[in-house]
Amino acid sequence: MNTDGEVPISWWECEPRRLARDQREVAELFPELTWCAEGAGRWEGRLPRWPFNRPEPAGMAELVGQEGMPVRVQYGHAYPMVPPAIFPLDPEPELAEYRQHRFHVLGNGSLCLLQDCSTWTGRQSVIELLLKAVGWRVEYALLKSGVVESMTINGIVNDASRDHLVRQALEQLSAGGGQP
């Protein structure tokens, strides 16, 4: 309720076709996410480990776990003009990693998945961001293992150039006694 006693209307009440599109697309590719219509709305649940259109690299389950990353996808009232924020819940980036370009984590702990504000026009699908979040999980594990010094600019959704590093990351972690 605002100071005039009016209850604000959320984006999903104003744009029911966009909400239906998001719900349909998310259900098709990310069935473990559940819509919550509180406030501006959010998705909660688990992303798949490897939804990309190429074979999963050997050792991926050992590196990132059998199950995919749990996330909270938080919409704002300005959606779809402003993209939703995706918060990784496990692993959670360390506070020291916030705002570091090489980790692609914003100051509030959400993932930095767009190169700049103009990349999102409001017409794109939330699916694009969710796929990038899955790629972030893989690159985060590679970065934490020490086989790369930073994440890629464009992510790994359509780029297999880092797939071969999964095995190398496992070997490095095994030699150092670390955990992915």
Domain boundaries, the chain: 11-174
Can you give the pLDDT at residue 178? 61
Can you give the pLDDT at residue 177? 65
Cβ atoms < 10 Å from Cβ of 70: 17
Q: Among the CATH numbers 3.40.1130, 3.30.70, 3.10.110, 3.40.50, which is that of 11-174?
A: 3.10.110
In percent, the amount of the chain with pLDDT more than 70 equals 96
Can you give the pLDDT at residue 93? 96
Using the Cα atoms of residue 166, residue 170, residue 171 and residue 173 in order, give the sign of their dihedral. positive
In the predicted model, what is the mean pLDDT of the chain? 93
Going by pLDDT thresholds of 50, 70 and 90, the confidence category of residue 175 is confident
Location of structure tokens 């939804």? 51
Task: Read off the pLDDT of residues 74-131 as tens digits, 9 standing for 90 and up.
Answer: 999 999 999 999 999 999 999 999 998 899 999 999 999 998 878 899 999 999 999 9
Closest Cα to residue 67, out of 84, 86, 91?
91
Closest Cα to residue 64, out of 40, 97, 88?
88
More confident residue, 130 or 172: 130
Query: What distances in angstroms separate CA 126 from CA 44, 63, 148, 166, one per listed residue?
Result: 14, 26, 28, 27
* pTM for this model (two decimals): 0.92
Going by pLDDT thresholds of 50, 70 and 90, the confidence category of residue 52 is very high
Residue 2 has pLDDT above 90, yes or no: no
Closest Cα to residue 25, out of 15, 36, 17?
17
